[in-house]
Structure 1
Amino acid sequence: MQKTTLISIILLVLFCSCKQQNQEIMEPKKTIVRKHPKSISFHFEKSKEWLAKNIDSTQIRIALAVNRTDKTNIPKMDSIIVPKDLTGDIEFYLSFPLEVPYLKDINKIIFFSYPTQTFAAYENGDLIYTGPTNMGRKKDPTPTGLFFTNWKAEKTTSTFNDEWDLRWNFNIANKLGVGWHQYELPGYPASHSCLRLQEKDAKYLYTWADQWILKDDENILVKGTPVIVFGKYDFDAPKPWLQLVQNPKALNISADEIAKTTKPHLNSILAEQKKREKQPIKG
């Protein structure tokens, strides 16, 4: 009788375990609802004239992103590039692909593209957030390669000028003092090697990305969210996004390019991710 009961318990445990595994396997992937524009094409407009007749905040946000600028600097531009159809979500007018299957095992990762001056955040291969950036100027280029988010602060003071307030600052290279933060976007690489963002974008990434976990004052226990900065910017050529008027796909970054950029760093990224997953959840 005891032997029969023991066998029954083992079979029940195995059944429940298999059922749970099957449920996990069968759990559908979360669907991201996106608003597609009817078409994607770009043309030039006089900046002040266009702003005077467009007050829709969503459309203005798209125009700012396309011109890699902000509300303060766009009126200073003589002409700007504007999509003909502004009814879609912002990701359809920028450079990064909506999905990258190669990233499916990476919980969180951020990319900054130097040549397109755009950034993108992915969760398991799905694009969840994107926007414009102004990276390091020719004299002070932003370093490229793999980084991890370190410490963050809602407000810090620039080491270059103590009159510059940097909001939503998230460091990615502690010894170099490089990170992303909110600061003016004149519409071209102008920073002292940091990654300038609009305030809304800087705040989003500030909240979304993970900080490092320190073992003590000198040692890192777990690194933060992986950040890959890639590509080169031609400082002697016209702004790359001007090409969009002739070819709306001129700056498109393919999923294969992201995979190729990520591949040399994949093992390091997954190793750090595994370390984080092993950390106890703080209540």
Structure 2
Amino acid sequence: MPPRTSRAAPGRCAARPRGARTRLPYVPPRATFALSVPLSHPEETRVTQGTSGVNARAYSKTLGNGLLVLELLRHHRQGLGINAIATELGLHRTVVYRLIGTLRAHNLVTVGADGHHRVGLGLLELATAVRADLRRAAEPHLTRLAEHVAATAFLAVADQDDAVSACVVEPGNARLHVGYRLGIRHPLTVSAAGLAILAGRPAVEGERTEVTRARTRGYATTTAELEPGAWGLATRLPNASGHAGASIGVVALSQLDATTIAPTLREIAATIAEEVDT
């Protein structure tokens, strides 16, 4: 996906047919930052298929294939036809036809006049239920934070070994800023957001020195870990509220004064955790 140039924006919180070629499973691209300045390197890729440790006897292959269809369409905003989906996933066209029919019935997939299938609004409705209490509490504070530092503010939550952006607010007073897409996923061991979450957990052998440092000083900083030039600062939400798997922070096009911003960031994190509890 090409990078976008952005100005100020508001917050937004199987069987194969006979004779078919053997294809590897679909591997969606790793979500990354979209900066407001051009980038030169392509997106990374990562495998998201698998049962993530779930007992194979408790795993539904049909449901899994349906979710792979959604994952595929998520990375093809222009949409895909039945044949293209079947080819990408290595599934029989009839199987894909039935999967699409079921997903459309639940408003998770829509089809345009061009015959291409795209993700439906039902996914947005489902997404709004994810940590809704935490996101509602965080958004007004992140809005003020983004305006205060003239940089993009975010809330990230842990999902197994990954950090996922759950709320993003872009500054209205900056001519250029980092466009941090909602739903971006990356390993906890990468970026200030993930390191801050790890810093809220007990120390483990072999952890990055940045995690140890973040645990001591109360915040994590990184430079160019997800994109060239992007600088991030994050702090964990207090685990007394059960949010040891969450962090808030800012991401900017250049390094900011962490010692000045960090106290405000920690104060906001404590306030959010307290509001979620009440």
**TM-score normalised by structure 2 residue count:** 0.28
TM-score scaled by length of structure 1: 0.28
Structure having the higher helix fraction is 2
Structure whose CA Rg is larger: 1
Indicate the structure with greater strand content: 1
